[in-house]
């Protein structure tokens, strides 16, 4: 069984920074793609940043130049460094991992989400 837990959210003033972490634990063989999504109040969930196993990254236009996704393979952890935060970045942020367990087929796993609130 695979467990995914996010942390690092909180309340920050506009212009500030936060770093989100997402740790996968359990029967993990390898992790392929990693991604961060967010859902703002009254809006649909959107992809914020993605990171493939080969190192390729992609970002939503709204966060390019401000957010950086990275990974620590040894710790099965993915990070989202968020700088120059804006009130419109306020949302619940979710980690999504494409995990190959030790047994069975690969699957997508979601964390429980972490709240990010940016005050103006």
Confidence check: pLDDT of 52 > 90: yes
The mean pLDDT of the chain is 95
pLDDT for the residue numbered 1: 85
Q: Which residues contact 108 (CB under 8 A, 6 or more apart)?
A: 96, 97, 98, 99
pLDDT digits (tens, 9 = 90+) for 70-117: 999 999 999 999 999 999 999 999 999 999 999 889 999 999 999 999
Please give the full DSSP string across 37-70, using - where no structure is assigned: EEE-TTS--EEEEEE-TTS-EEE-TTTTTTEEEE
41-65 average pLDDT score: 96
Question: pLDDT-based confidence at 13, cuts 50/70/90?
Answer: very high
55-73 average pLDDT score: 96
């Amino acid at each position: 069984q695979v467990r995914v837990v996010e942390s690092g959210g909180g309340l920050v003033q506009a212009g500030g920074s936060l770093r989100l972490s997402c740790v996968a634990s359990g029967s993990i063989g390898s992790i392929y793609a990693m991604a961060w999504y967010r859902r703002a109040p009254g809006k649909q969930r959107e992809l914020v940043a993605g990171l493939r196993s080969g190192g390729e990254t992609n970002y939503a236009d709204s966060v390019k130049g401000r957010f950086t996704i990275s990974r620590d393979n040894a710790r099965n952890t993915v990070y989202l460094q968020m700088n120059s935060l804006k009130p419109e970045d306020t949302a619940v942020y979710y980690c999504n991992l494409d995990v190959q367990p030790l047994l069975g087929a690969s699957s997508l796993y979601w964390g429980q989400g972490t709240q990010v609130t940016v005050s103006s």
